[in-house]
Amino acid sequence: MTTELDWFKSSYSSNDGPACVEAAISPAPHPTTIHIRDSKNRTGSRLAFTDGAWSEFLEFAARR
């Protein structure tokens, strides 16, 4: 089993602008963690959210 994350660029990210975000979902058996990183600094810091926390964040952001 591989623990490699399959990163994808956010649809809100630009190709060469400052808003470059990538996300990945943890593979089984723990597919409930969402990982976020800066696509221009792939080895830098990352954030990880449970699926519930990520859903709450998205709901909050949508209201802003």
Give per-residue pLDDT as tens, 5-39.
899 887 766 666 666 889 999 877 666 899 999 88
pLDDT at 50 over 60: yes
Residue 11's pLDDT is what?
74
Q: What phi and psi, each to the nearest 5 degrees, are found at residue 26?
A: -55, 140
pLDDT at 2 over 60: no
